[in-house]
Amino acid sequence: MHTSEAMALSAALLAAAGGLTQRIHEGVVARGFEGVRPAHGFAFARLASDGATVTDLAAHLGVTKQAASQLVDEMVRKGYAERRPHPGDARARLIVLTGRGWECTRAAEEAAAEAVREWGDLVGEAELRVLCRQLLRIAPDGPLRPVW
C-alpha cells in the first residue's frame, strides 16, 4: 500500500471512529442521560465486565491514576457508578456501575446499533459483516481509549 493510500485509510478509520463516538454520545443524550461525556462511555466499557479499581481504569483509559480518580468521582457524583470494598484486596475499592450506569450503557448500545445500521444501509449488510471480521482481526481486543 502506498503512503498516500495508507494515509487515506488512516483518515477514513479515524473519521468513522470519531463519527461513531459522536453518534453514540448524541444518542445517549437524546435518551435522557445528560452530563455524560464520551470518556464516561470508555470507562463504562471497562466497568461493565466485573468492575475495576481506579488503577485498572487508568490503565484501560491510558490516563494517570489521578485523572481516572477524578473521572470516577464524577461518575459517582452523577449516579453512574459506586465504590465498593474490593473482594480480594482490603486496601482497594472496586468501582462498579449502578443501575443508572447500566441504563446508560444500554442507551449507548442502542445508539451504536442505530449508527451501524446506517452503515449497513450504505454499504450493504454483507460488506459490513466482512468489514467487522477484518477489523476484529486487526484489533481483536481494542484498546478502547479516549484520545481527548
CA–CA gap between residue 73 and residue 14 (Å, rounded): 30
- Asked if residue 139 has pLDDT above 90, the reply is no
DSSP letter for 90, please.
T
Using a pLDDT cut of 70, give the percent of the chain over it: 95
> What would the grid cell of residue 119 be?
452503515
Query: What percent of the chain clears pLDDT 90, i.e. is strictly above it?
Result: 72
Q: What is the pTM of this model?
A: 0.84
CA dist 22 and 148 (Å) reads 13
Compute the distance between CA of residue 95 and CA of residue 51 in angstroms, rounded to an integer: 5
Q: What's the rounded Cα separation, in Å, for the pair 4 and 50? A: 42
pLDDT tens per residue, range 8-26: 999 999 999 999 999 999 9
Mean pLDDT along residues 117-130: 94
